[in-house]
């Protein structure tokens, strides 16, 4: 089995100084607090996500099978999204898990659906519920009723989807599917980056073409600018003069006027042969 991407066990080994910037999670508590109510309502998604984090940290054996997949993994709430971030679970791993997750029953089902469900309960079930309420075994009767309703609506008694009637996936299978999605994501990113590079290269080439055409149209003026910069007899002046000469050379090549440029360049070199600093710059730029 190929190495899993992202985290490895070594990422979690304790080394001196590893905990200097440790985040104790206190800043996350407010965003994660609603998960307690989710659990009380029979929403086990955060528990499944916690198990899923074990795949990313490679703390689960490859042959281990996944627990029943809860409904609603394709549409995580804000607290669950914060939980995913807190555990640093890769989005593609969540997507692999969510492939077997059905839609979750609405938090506030229609009154008609509730009425139909209540009518479907047997007398024994109703009596058992009333007895538990009377004995104080149901501190939150509405929550208990809603949980039972959702369990029934999802198709079985654990508020999970129908997928757990199929063969459960192993950690190795989930990890391989995850890696495939990661490779596909990386391929898309690489393709997008290549397109952006090509676009940038075309834009730069077009800008360079337009500049060379402009230089060619103003060649006499630019030659005068070269002489002006050389006359300053400063390093900056020489650098600027050489930059303009490179532009003139490329513009001449673009306009098929290389011979004219070469003649003028040779005359300039002869005229300033006594300026070693300028001559050195010309040589370094391929102009001598």
pLDDT in tens, 194-240: 999 999 999 999 998 998 999 999 999 999 999 999 999 999 999 99
**CA-based R_g, the chain, Å:** 36
Q: Is residue 81 part of a domain?
A: no
Q: What is the mean pLDDT of residues 40-62?
A: 88
- The per-residue pLDDT for 156 is 42
Mean model confidence pLDDT for the chain: 82
Neighbours of 132 (CB within 10 A): 13
Q: Which range, 8-22, 28-42, 114-128, is most confident?
A: 114-128
- Cα distance between residue 62 and residue 174, in whole Å: 9
202 occurs within a structural domain: no
Which of 5-14, 126-135, 210-219 bottoms out in mean pLDDT, i.e. has the lowest?
Answer: 5-14
pLDDT at residue 144, as a whole number = 72
What domain count does the chain have? 2
Do the domain assignments include residue 269? yes
Looking at residue 92, what DSSP letter applies? H
pLDDT tens digits, 141-192 = 777 777 777 777 665 434 334 444 456 899 999 999 999 999 999 999 999 9
DSSP 151-172: HHHHTSTTSB-GGGGSPPPBHH
Helix (H, G, I), strand (E, B) or coil at 65: strand
139 belongs to a structural domain:
yes
Q: Is residue 225 part of a domain?
A: yes
Cα–Cα distances (Å) from 171 to 47, 62, 91, 174, 200, in that order, read 16, 5, 17, 5, 43
Nearest alpha-carbon partner for 245 in 233, 228, 234: 228
Residues of the domain holding 234: 218-284
Q: Is residue 267 assigned to a domain?
A: yes
Instruction: Report angle CA 71, 74, 77 to the nearest 5 degrees.
Output: 85
Percent of all residues in the chain with a pLDDT value above 70, rounded to a whole number: 82
Tell which of 154, 186, 206 closes a domain: 154
222 or 107: whose pLDDT is higher?
Answer: 222
pTM of the model: 0.51
Is 272 within the bounds of a domain?
Answer: yes
For residue 50, what pLDDT band results from cuts at 50, 70 and 90? Answer: very high
What is the helix (H) or strand (E) element at residue 69, kind and residue range? none
User: Looking at residue 20, what is its pLDDT?
Assistant: 57
Give CA 167 to chain center in angstroms.
31
Quick check: is 58 in a domain?
A: no
């Amino acid at each position: 089995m190929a190495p899993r991407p992202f985290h490895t066990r070594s990422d979690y080994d304790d080394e001196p100084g590893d905990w200097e910037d440790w985040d104790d999670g206190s800043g996350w508590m407010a965003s994660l607090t609603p998960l307690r109510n989710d659990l009380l309502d029979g929403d086990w998604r955060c528990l499944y996500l916690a198990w899923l984090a074990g795949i990313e940290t490679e703390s689960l054996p490859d042959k281990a099978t996944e627990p029943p997949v809860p409904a609603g993994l394709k549409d995580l709430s804000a607290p669950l999204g914060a939980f995913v971030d807190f555990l640093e679970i890769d989005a593609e791993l969540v997507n692999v898990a969510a492939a077997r997750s059905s839609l979750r029953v609405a938090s506030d089902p229609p009154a008609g659906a509730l009425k139909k469900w209540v009518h479907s309960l047997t007398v024994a079930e109703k009596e058992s519920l009333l007895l538990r309420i009377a004995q104080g075994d149901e501190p939150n009767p509405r929550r208990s009723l809603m949980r039972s309703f959702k369990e029934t609506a999802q198709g079985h008694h654990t508020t999970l989807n129908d997928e757990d009637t199929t063969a459960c996936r192993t950690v190795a299978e989930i990890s391989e599917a995850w890696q495939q999605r990661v490779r596909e994501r990386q391929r898309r990113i690489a393709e997008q980056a290549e397109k952006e590079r090509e676009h940038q290269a075309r834009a730069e080439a077009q800008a360079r073409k337009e500049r060379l055409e402009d230089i060619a149209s103003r060649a006499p003026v630019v030659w005068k600018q070269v002489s002006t910069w050389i006359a300053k007899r400063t390093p900056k002046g020489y650098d600027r003069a050489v930059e303009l000469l490179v532009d003139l050379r490329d513009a001449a090549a673009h306009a098929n006027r290389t011979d004219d440029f070469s003649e003028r360049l040779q005359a300039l070199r002869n005229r300033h042969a006594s300026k070693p600093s300028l001559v050195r710059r010309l040589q370094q730029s391929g102009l001598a």
